[in-house]
Chains A and B, each alone.
Chain A
Amino acid sequence: MSGTKGNFSRIIKTPDNHIRPKWDLHGFRERQTSKGAKSQVMDLNLTPFIDLFSVLVLFLIMNYSATGEVFFISKNLKLPASEHSHPLDSKPLITITSEAVLFDAQEVGANTVHIEEQDQQNMPRLRQALQQAKIFQQNLRPNQEFKGEVNIQADESISIVYIKRVMNTLISEGWAGINFATTLYEPPSETETENNL
């Protein structure tokens, strides 16, 4: 018993150089004995971060539209849905609401509230804008025939008379290729159908 001192009946042991706890705090002990050297490098595990980014990038690339979306849809405009439509090409855009008619997001006319008061010929600002756009397109492509294609977007809940009035103006100004912008109809999933039943 090299650790025993004195002649007392009680045995006193000389403590070791440190008290060893039940769980050895290895890192703490190393830091205590390192005499001020604080070169502890804490590496953040970035692998899950990279995984997350990879999945996000793949998802975004899969849903990315290379055609580019140039149309501005106002918040209170709900386009009708269609199932058998084709992708919307970039053409001059006419937005029709019950309050106003917008040509390429520029206000060109105002719809009157009462349908009976509609004047089919009274859209001078729209006519002027269409004439300017026609001249611009003809100057831009002098060797090509003017097709007069235009996109119309309108709220599904407005009366058709607003559309007809704009269409008549378009036809009389030589814009005969009219496309109605719609959202792509998505049939309800099986789970939604089952829930409704």
Chain B
Amino acid sequence: MSASNSGENLNLTPFIDLFSVLVLFLISTAVWQQLSSLSTNVENSTSSDNPVPKEKEVSLSITLLPDKVQLLESEKATDIPNLSGQELNKDRIKTSIEEWRQRFPDKKDVTLNTANTILYGNMITVFDMVVGAGFPNVGVNTQ
């Protein structure tokens, strides 16, 4: 009798048991929604602290108002009106922040001011743009 005709099958039951347990464990502990976070350092950002800017140092801040976004470079303000309602003009805001990055390559901090009626999602959108442009220290004004 040749070896191929011996009729001995591999017992697959333990494999199936192992795989079943593994699949159940992985499904039960799986994370289906990936969460991330944006960090802010509020110690230097509250307006109550009101840090005195150093001489000749440009302070960059972005103010979200109900109808527009104002980019303030020391005392020079640039207004970017919303597209409609609270819908931000993301392209123009992004372009302006990237211009800041090119003009102030050593600058790392930007302060974010918001009116009380601004949506939280819009604040995070601008926050994300600022971090994406290369300003890692974003302060949120809580006043």
Genuine A/B complex: yes
Question: A residues touching B (Cβ–Cβ < 8 Å)?
Answer: 43, 46, 49-50, 53-54, 56-57, 60-61, 63-65, 68-69, 71, 73, 79-80, 82-89, 115, 151, 154-164, 167-168, 170-171, 176-185
Cβ–Cβ < 8 Å partners of A160 in chain B? 64, 114-120, 123
Contact (Cβ within 8 A) B116 A85: no
Binding site for A on B (CB under 8 A): 9, 12, 15-16, 19-20, 22-23, 26-27, 29-31, 33-43, 46, 64, 114-121, 123-125, 127-128, 131-132, 140, 142-143
Contact A63 B30 (CB under 8 A): yes
Q: How far is A176 from B49 in the complex, measured between Cα atoms in Å?
A: 13
A-B CB proximity, top 7 nearest: A156-B121, A85-B36, A60-B26, A53-B19, A84-B132, A80-B124, A179-B37
Contact between B124 and A50, CB atoms less than 8 A apart: no
Contact of B16 among A49, A82, A88 (CB under 8 A): A49
Q: Which of A57, A82, A86 has the most CB of B within 10 A?
A: A82
The CA-CA distance from A181 to B38 in the complex, in Å, is 7
Are A159 and B116 touching (Cβ within 8 A)? yes
B38: chain A residues at CB < 8 Å are 82, 84-85, 179-180, 182
With both chains docked as a complex, state the minimum distance between the C-beta of A158 and any C-beta of chain B, in angstroms: 5
Could you tell me the distance between the alpha carbons of A15 and B118 in the complex, rounded to whole angstroms?
97
| Docked-complex contact B40 and A154, CB < 8 angstroms | no
B48 to chain A, nearest CB (A): 9
Q: How far is the CA of A79 from the CA of B38 in the complex (A)?
A: 12
Taking a contact as CB atoms under 8 Å apart, the answer to whether A57 and B19 are in contact is: yes
Which residues of the other chain, B, contact A184 by a CB distance below 8 angstroms? 34-36
Residues of the B chain whose Cβ atoms lie less than 8 Å from the Cβ of A73: 33
